[in-house]
């Protein structure tokens, strides 16, 4: 800049310096305003560059004159105010170096714009690993799984012990194969009812105490494997939820040397005779507290009918105890038990073990001969919603829980108690009776509500085809069920059909 007017100055390309006779070209920008000078300098640069190109082509007039120090057209006159002083266009000449101007423009632009600072992203804190207790709580709260009240109570007991052994504050990501083996080993050395026997000791301390004493009467292999299966299920869920990468308890278990057939047995003929010749069936004081004492009473309520129904229908204990009166109905001329969780008018509190449990079972002729149809009619007359209204559910919601405890005491007082037998043994007796009668396998599965195995027509998927058997066909099959060594003549109110 010279004086008060900006000048444009640029170097002449080397190949044109001899033609133009100079090394630089100066041109007045005719303004003292810096922003106006910038705009004028761009125009001057463009015009001079065109003159340079014309000089190279030998066109466009006298190149020396084209690139002379002629002034640029005056820039637009800015708006002024009373206090504005414009520079004198005839004042001193101002020279401007284009290269220097470009450099200064770049510097000025860089100085006027704030330097963008690199965004500093705070380092994300690693997600805190969930503890085994938190994973269990989330597992139980999963809305995708529906569990019965009985299952929830059982889980509270099982996982309460497992979490105690592992440590409730242990991150689930820290649980490895070794930890799971330690859990399994602790369970193997825990005696039954350990918390009642040693209320002030932890599970690990109890197991160590038993181990040191050399006592081998710990939990059964089946019980230990049950605990480990549930732990594995929890950890598999944790894998699916992304809490851990793999399930360290997968496949862990102890060898169960007990033969499958030895785990639960049917009642022997002697046991059956002891059950059905007890005072409850031959004459007792009452069916409440006096059921085991001989007397003149012959009450026929739940305690009388439930064991008989179990033996002659193969129904599970809870299926029998929870029946509504409406669940005994005539289908195609045949009086039947309808095993279902649905209720038409009765109490809607029934539960089934599996999908195949829902079925129709004709009432066995022995039950009819013992007066069962008259009993059902009496319940309808009294408008009882439940078939056995005096039987009440436990806090788990299952009617079988209370009755099962009573039946164990009944077996002891009847002299019919033995290892590996319980109410469920009636179901085993029923299955054996179906085999002895050569009842078709598919018919047997339908009557017992058993899910088939890999047989052609015994698979569970086969049950989705067709509408099932007619009640008359099922009646023919179940009528073949009998127990030749069991004498029930004292219970018959009508002659047993031949």
Chain segment 361-417, per-residue pLDDT in tens: 999 999 999 999 999 999 999 999 999 999 999 888 899 999 999 999 999 999 999
The yes-or-no verdict on residue 84 having pLDDT over 50 is no
> How long, in residues, is the chain?
498
pLDDT of residue 347: 77
Q: What is the pLDDT averaged over residues 5-18?
A: 83
pLDDT level of residue 497 (50, 70, 90 thresholds): very low
What is the per-residue pLDDT across 346-362, written as a single tens digit (0 to 9) for each?
Answer: 778 888 887 778 999 99
- Token readout for 423 is 């109410």
Segments of 154-237 assigned E as strands: none
CATH class of 132-260: mainly alpha
Let me know: does 27 contact 72? Beta carbons within 8 Å. yes
Return the closest-CA partner of residue 270 out of 491, 496, 490, 487: 487
Contact predicate 312/481, CB 8 Å:
yes
Domain locations in the chain as residue ranges: 6-53, 132-260, 269-452+466-491
Label residues 201-224 b or e (16+ Cβ within 10 Å = b): eebbebbeebeeeeeeebbeeebb
Contact by Cβ (8 Å): 294, 281: no
Residue 248 · residue 208 · CB < 8 Å: no
Question: Which long-range CB contacts under 8 A does 294-300 form with residues at least 24 apart?
Answer: 300/371, 300/375
Residue 281: band (very low, low, confident or very high) from pLDDT cuts 50, 70, 90: very high
Distance, in Å, from the CA atom of 177 to the CA atom of 183, rounded to the nearest integer, reads 10
Q: What are phi and psi of 337, to 5 degrees?
A: -90, 130
Choosing among 1.10.1740, 1.10.10, 1.10.443, 3.90.105, the CATH entry for 269-452+466-491 is 1.10.443
**Are 496 and 365 within 8 A, CB to CB?**
yes
CA distance 355 to 449: 9
């Amino acid at each position: 800049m010279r004086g008060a007017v900006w000048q444009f100055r640029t170097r002449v390309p080397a190949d044109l310096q001899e033609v133009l006779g100079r090394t630089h070209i100066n041109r007045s920008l005719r303004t003292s305003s810096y922003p106006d000078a910038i705009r004028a300098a761009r125009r001057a640069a463009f015009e001079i560059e065109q003159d340079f190109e014309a000089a190279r082509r030998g066109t466009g007039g006298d190149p020396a004159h084209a690139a002379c120090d002629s002034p640029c057209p005056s820039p637009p006159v800015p708006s002024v105010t009373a206090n504005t002083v414009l520079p004198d266009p005839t004042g001193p000449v101002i020279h401007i170096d284009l290269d220097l101007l470009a450099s200064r423009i770049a510097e000025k632009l860089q100085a006027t714009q704030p330097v963008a600072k690199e965004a500093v992203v705070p380092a994300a804190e690693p997600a805190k690993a969930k503890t085994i207790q938190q994973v269990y709580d989330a597992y139980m709260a999963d809305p995708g799984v529906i569990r019965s009240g009985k299952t929830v109570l059982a889980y509270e007991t099982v996982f309460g012990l497992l979490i105690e052994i592992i440590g409730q504050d242990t991150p689930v990501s820290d649980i490895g194969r070794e930890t799971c083996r330690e859990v399994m080993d602790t369970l193997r050395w825990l005696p039954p009812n350990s918390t009642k026997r040693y209320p002030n000791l932890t599970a690990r301390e109890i197991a160590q105490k038993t181990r040191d004493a050399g006592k081998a009467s710990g939990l059964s292999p089946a019980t230990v494997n049950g605990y480990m299966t549930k732990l594995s299920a929890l950890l598999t869920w944790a894998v699916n939820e992304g809490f851990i990468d793999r399930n360290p308890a997968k496949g862990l278990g102890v060898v169960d040397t007990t033969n499958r057939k030895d785990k639960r047995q049917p009642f022997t003929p002697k046991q059956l005779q002891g059950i059905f010749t007890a005072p409850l069936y031959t004459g007792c004081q009452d069916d409440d507290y006096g059921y085991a004492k001989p007397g003149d009473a012959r009450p026929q309520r739940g305690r009388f009918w439930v064991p008989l129904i179990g033996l002659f229908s193969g129904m599970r204990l809870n299926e029998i105890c929870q029946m509504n009166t409406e669940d005994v109905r005539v289908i195609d001329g045949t009086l039947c038990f309808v095993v279902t969780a649905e209720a038409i008018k009765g109490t809607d509190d029934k539960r089934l073990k599996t999908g195949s449990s829902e079925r129709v079972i004709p009432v066995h002729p022995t039950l009819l001969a013992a007066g069962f149809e008259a009993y059902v009619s009496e319940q309808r007359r009294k408008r009882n919603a439940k078939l056995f209204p005096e039987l009440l559910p436990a806090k788990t919601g299952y009617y079988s829980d209370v009755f099962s405890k009573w039946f164990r005491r009944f077996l002891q007082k009847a002299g019919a108690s033995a290892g590996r037998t319980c109410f469920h043994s009636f179901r085993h007796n029923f299955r054996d009776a179906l085999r002895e009668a050569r009842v078709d396998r598919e018919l047997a599965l339908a009557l017992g509500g058993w899910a088939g195995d890999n047989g052609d027509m015994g698979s569970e998927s086969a049950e989705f085809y067709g509408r099932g058997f007619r009640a008359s066909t099922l009646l023919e099959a179940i009528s073949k069920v009998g127990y030749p060594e069991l004498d029930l003549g004292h219970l018959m109110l009508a002659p047993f059909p031949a």
